[in-house]
Structure 1
């Protein structure tokens, strides 16, 4: 018997297909792979250190995922360029020579083991006390 005589039976060597439901908005969401969700490991007021470069700082803002320009991201050498699908932190940063603002991915930060105050000149504008190894955001700054 050939295929024309027995419709619905696949030819030899071909796996039968499983009937699929029409694609709708309800089943499309279920069929799509879930995006990676990262929880922020650090919070505002935490003192952190860069994993690769010699600077440290205090976090003053958090983006749930990359929120800078494509040009900024492309300027990072490819071999150390961070993924965009993770939290990024705004730091009042300092190194031995200067104080500045840094934008750093979560994968490149580590918590200071024994945090000491950060000497960035903007720290007093945003933060009050430094206690238990972290800064307390001024109440006038909070949302």
Structure 2
């Protein structure tokens, strides 16, 4: 078996950070990161071409919310900005994974909370 090259990718956001979409009215907490696009072509092609992001960048899995609902979102790095509101995310799954750290204005995964 050959060695598989590992690609090191710098990401702007970390697991536990609260971010918001740059164009659309939703926000969420990062719970996973893909170094580059890793979803279906159908999903990608459903994005309007004039706002379709490049596949060659990190993509973030968010426990997201808008004014009407909570859901899981998959968003390119170029479409995210840091949410500095200091308001916890109300998504019902957040508490299964994270604890809110008000001093750091972010979530900490339960296994390293307090460190």
Which residues in structure 2 correspond to 1:90-109 (within 5 Å)? 90-109=61-80
Deviations 1:58-88 (A, max 9, x none): 0000000000001100010000001000000
Q: Does 1:135 align with 2:107?
A: yes
What is the CA RMSD across the aligned residues, in angstroms?
1.5
**How far 1:138 sits from its partner (Å)?**
1.3
Superposition misfits of 4+ residues, deviation over 4 angstroms: none
41, 52, 67: which is aligned to 2:12? 41
- 2-structure distance, mates of 1:50, 1:62: 15
Unpaired segments ≥5 residues, structure 1: 1-36
8 Å Cα contact 1:128/1:138 also seen in 2: yes
Deviations 1:5-49 (A, max 9, x none): xxxxxxxxxxxxxxxxxxxxxxxxxxxxxxxx8520000000000
57, 69, 83: which is aligned to 1:112? 83
Partner of residue 3, structure 2: none
- 1-structure distance, mates of 2:47, 2:57: 16
8 Å Cα contact 1:117/1:130 also seen in 2: no
Q: TM-score, normalised by structure 1?
A: 0.69
Q: Which has the higher contact order (CA 8 A, sep 6+)?
A: 2
What secondary structure, in the 3-state scheme, does the structure 2 residue paired with 1:136 have? strand
Partner of residue 79, structure 1: 50
> Number of matched residues?
104
What secondary structure, in the 3-state scheme, does the structure 2 residue paired with 1:42 have? coil
**Structure of greater Rg:** 1
Q: TM-score, normalised by structure 2?
A: 0.86
What secondary structure, in the 3-state scheme, does the structure 2 residue paired with 1:84 have? coil
